[in-house]
């Protein structure tokens, strides 16, 4: 079973990470507010000092962040995911963000032999806790198929939307409706 790194254990992230952990995945966790990691560490998760360390220690890296600025910083900034990601690893970005941003990020990861999926979620904090989330996924179909069991651990409506950025487009359209 793959090791899952989770960055961003706030309102949404904590619930989703909890469900990933309940599904039996080994977790590596990081949050700017270190106290947010404590409940996971008490149950056996491993702490990482930075996003790059999460990436080094994980097969699949999941982020749940406030917005595009944080997504860019955590993925591409100093000590970011790109710096530590291993060949063959998968970065799954769950935040609601700009489709153009994930399309700028993906080629940089591909150049390192890693994969990226954008997979924004809908269902709110209660949905994150209860596994009642829609997960709209963009990226390579075979990578989606590989990580779908992880996505299914926190979302009850997981669907493949198309190429990279398609998940974000779906989420934006969903929000407009």
CA 71 to chain centroid: 10
Dihedral (CA of 48, 88, 153, 21) sign: negative
Q: How far apart are CA 47 and CA 21, in angstroms?
A: 14
Return the closest-CA partner of residue 68 out of 105, 32, 31. 105
Residue 15 Cα distances to 21, 33, 112, 119, 126, angstroms: 10, 16, 30, 16, 8
Q: Which residues are part of the catalytic machinery?
A: 171
Q: How far apart are CA 58 and CA 68, in angstroms?
A: 23
Residue 118 exposed, middle or buried by CB count within 10 Å (0-12, 13-18, 19+):
buried
């Amino acid at each position: 079973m793959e090791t899952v790194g989770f960055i961003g254990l706030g309102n949404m992230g904590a619930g989703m990470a909890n469900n990933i952990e309940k599904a039996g995945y080994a977790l590596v966790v990081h949050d700017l507010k270190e106290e947010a990691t404590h409940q996971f560490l008490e149950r056996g998760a491993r702490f990482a000092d930075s996003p790059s360390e999460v990436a080094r220690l994980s097969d699949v890296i999941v982020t749940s962040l406030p917005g595009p600025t944080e997504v860019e910083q955590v993925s591409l900034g100093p000590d970011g995911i790109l710096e530590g990601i291993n060949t063959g690893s998968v970065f799954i970005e769950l935040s609601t963000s700009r489709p153009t941003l994930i399309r700028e990020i993906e080629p940089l990861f591909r150049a390192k032999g890693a994969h990226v999926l954008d997979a924004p979620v809908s269902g709110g904090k209660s949905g994150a806790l209860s596994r009642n989330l829609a997960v709209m996924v963009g990226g390579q179909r075979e990578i989606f198929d590989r990580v779908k069991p992880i996505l299914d651990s926190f979302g009850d409506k997981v669907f493949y939307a198309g190429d990279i950025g398609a998940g974000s487009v779906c989420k934006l359209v969903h929000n407009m409706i």
